[in-house]
């Protein structure tokens, strides 16, 4: 299936590693031009070097995403450089473990800024360009918004907000033919996930226990599988799909795990 993404300029926040990197890989396979936005210059340049080995072109803009002005500057830079923005993938964030019991006002508020506020700011500043292109927005979310996890109140709340904004924007942007959807991730083995697994006394045993609870094939979701879903939702092949929460998780969230 031709997704008709050739030469489309797609912003991917946090696109230098993990799920974001997998999204960029799949966009490149479809001929799109991903533009990575994030704060870590070293990581971004390393990712671009890896992604461009296939001859693809990858753009970038540096921004501390918790800073609204930095978000605005990044979007303006991208539009000036490429003349258009065809899609936005809000992906950057971190499960920072701010819990109800041990968290406080400052840590909770900071986590919301790290995990939700920039989703709004990047969409807000990209909107004029997306109106011109009749582009699409894909928000990356987490199962924690639906299942809970324990010990991560702020991250769960931020992801609940991502789901709500997906539905809200889908309604608000109907007049502009801008589609907004979300891809919800459960167990995807990224470097950050690996770091979390290593905090357990027996990481390999813990990983096997988690995989055993993933109904489809008892394995983790890959970043490329998330990327494929995102590419489809950005494309005109999903031209009548908006306001949806897509769970790409091997059935982890909704199927009986006794399976």
pLDDT in tens, 6-56: 999 999 999 999 999 999 999 999 999 999 999 999 999 999 999 999 889
pLDDT digits (tens, 9 = 90+) for 135-170: 999 999 999 999 999 999 999 999 999 999 999 999
Q: Would you call 155 a catalytic residue per the annotation?
A: yes
The per-residue pLDDT for 257 is: 72
Instruction: Please compute Rg for the chain using Cα positions.
Output: 18
The per-residue pLDDT for 190 is: 87
Query: Tokens at residue 64, please?
Result: 């501390």
What is the band of 196 on the pLDDT scale with cuts at 50, 70, 90? Answer: confident
Task: State how far the Cα of 194 lies from the Cα of 199, in Å rounded to an integer.
Answer: 9
Cβ(128)–Cβ(170) under 8 Å? Answer: no
Q: Which of 117-121, 123-127, 206-210 has the least mean pLDDT?
A: 206-210
For all residues of the chain together, what is the average pLDDT? 95
Instruction: Output phi, psi for 10, to 5 deg.
Output: -120, 120
Q: What is the pLDDT averaged over residues 62-91? A: 98
Residue 174 has pLDDT above 80, yes or no: yes
Closest CA to 65 of 98, 97, 113, 112: 113
The per-residue pLDDT for 156 is: 97
Q: What is the pLDDT averaged over residues 223-249? A: 98
Helix, strand, coil in percent for the chain, rounding step 5: 50, 15, 35
Residues 6+ positions from 103 with CB-CB distance below 8 Å:
153, 154
The half-sphere exposure of 232 on its side-chain side, counting CA atoms within 13 A, is 15
This model's pTM is above 0.85: yes
Chain centroid to CA 83: 23
Return the bridge partners of 140, or none.
Answer: 183
Residue 259 has pLDDT above 80, yes or no: no
Of the candidates 119, 125, 155, 193, the residue annotated as catalytic is: 155
Residues 6+ positions from 208 with CB-CB distance below 8 Å:
none
pLDDT digits (tens, 9 = 90+) for 77-103: 999 999 999 999 999 999 888 999 999
* Domains of the chain and CATH, by start: 9-186+223-244 (3.40.50.720), 190-220 (no CATH)
What is the band of 256 on the pLDDT scale with cuts at 50, 70, 90? Answer: confident
Instruction: Look at phi and psi of residue 83 and say left if phi exceeds 0, alpha if psi is from -120 to 50, else beta.
Output: left
């Amino acid at each position: 299936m031709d997704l008709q993404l050739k030469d489309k300029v797609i912003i991917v926040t946090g696109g230098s590693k993990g799920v974001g990197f997998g999204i960029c890989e799949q966009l490149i396979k479809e001929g799109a031009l991903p533009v990575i936005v994030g704060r870590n210059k070293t990581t971004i340049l390393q990712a671009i070097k890896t992604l461009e080995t296939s001859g693809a072109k990858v753009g970038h803009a540096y921004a501390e995403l918790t800073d609204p002005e930095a978000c605005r500057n990044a979007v303006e830079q991208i539009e000036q450089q490429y003349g258009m923005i065809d899609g936005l993938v809000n992906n950057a964030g971190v499960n920072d473990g701010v819990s109800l019991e041990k968290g406080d006002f400052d840590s909770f508020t900071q986590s919301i800024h790290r995990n939700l506020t920039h989703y709004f700011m990047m969409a807000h500043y990209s909107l004029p360009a997306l109106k011109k292109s009749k582009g699409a927005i894909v928000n990356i979310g987490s199962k924690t918004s639906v299942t809970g996890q324990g010990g991560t109140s702020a991250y769960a709340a931020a992801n609940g907000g991502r789901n709500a904004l997906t539905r809200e924007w889908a309604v608000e942007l109907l007049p502009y033919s801008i589609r907004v959807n979300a891809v919800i991730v459960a167990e995807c083995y990224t470097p950050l996930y690996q770091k979390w697994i290593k905090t357990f006394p027996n990481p390999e045993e813990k990983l096997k226990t988690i995989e055993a609870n993933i109904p489809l094939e008892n394995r983790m979701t890959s970043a490329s599988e998330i990327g494929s879903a995102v590419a489809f939702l950005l494309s005109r092949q999903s031209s009548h799909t908006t306001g949806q929460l897509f769970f790409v998780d091997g059935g982890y969230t909704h199927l009986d795990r006794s399976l």
